[in-house]
Amino acid sequence: MELTKILRFSAAHRLTSEALTSEENDRLYGPCARDHGHNYALEATVRGVVDADGMVMDLTVLERAMHTVVDLVDHRHLARDVPPLTGVITTGENLAAAFYRMIDRALPPGRLVRVAVVETENNRFEYGATGEAP
């Protein structure tokens, strides 16, 4: 059985690589190379056996683990204000992988299956236990 919890947060970011010039960043990332923000959804999925209480996991345990991310990033500039993201190009792919690692550390081992970062209604990024870290 799988259980997915969704939390929402708002944050600003910009897509730039320190290895590129300003012009190269503008060419590669377009308008996303400028500061802008999103109203994100963060989804975390855990897997397990339904226990005697009828639950895969206590939702408060999963929510607490997700708040290790949300409390850090909500209403912040991801690259400037969030130390674990320093030096990370804050693409949806990189955010999903970083958030997976943060949530995974806060849960019992082997329970987290997937983390999704929904950036817009058209852009969703998923990272799972078998995914490659950036």
2-128: which CATH topology? Tetrahydropterin Synthase; Chain A (3.30.479)
Mean pLDDT in the chain? 95
- Taking residues 79-108, report their average pLDDT: 96
What would the two tokens of residue 7 be? 């939390």
Q: Is 32 a catalytic residue?
A: yes
Residues 134 and 119: their CA atoms lie apart, in Å, by 18
Active site residue 75: yes
Q: Could you tell me which of 64, 66, 101 has the C-alpha nearest to residue 85?
A: 101
Q: Beta partners for 104?
A: none
Single-letter amino acid code for the residue at 68: T
Which residue carries 């929402």 as its tokens? 8
21-50: pLDDT as tens digits? 999 999 999 999 999 999 999 999 999 999
Q: Is the pLDDT of residue 134 over 50?
A: no
| pLDDT, average across residues 105-127 | 97
Percent of the chain with pLDDT over 90: 95
Active-site residue, from 38, 93, 119, 126:
119
Higher pLDDT, 126 or 130: 126
Question: Quick one: pLDDT at residue 129?
Answer: 75
Q: What pLDDT is recorded for position 119?
A: 97
pLDDT at residue 133 in the model: 45
- Report whether 107 contacts 129 (CB < 8 A): no
Catalytic residue among 32, 38, 93, 126: 32
Which residue in 24, 75, 77, 132 is the catalytic one?
75
CA distance 57 to 45: 10
pTM (2 d.p.): 0.93
Of 134 and 74, the structure prediction assigns the larger pLDDT to 74
Distances (CA, A) of 97 to 31, 57, 115: 23, 22, 8
What was the pLDDT predicted at 14?
96
pLDDT value at residue 130: 66
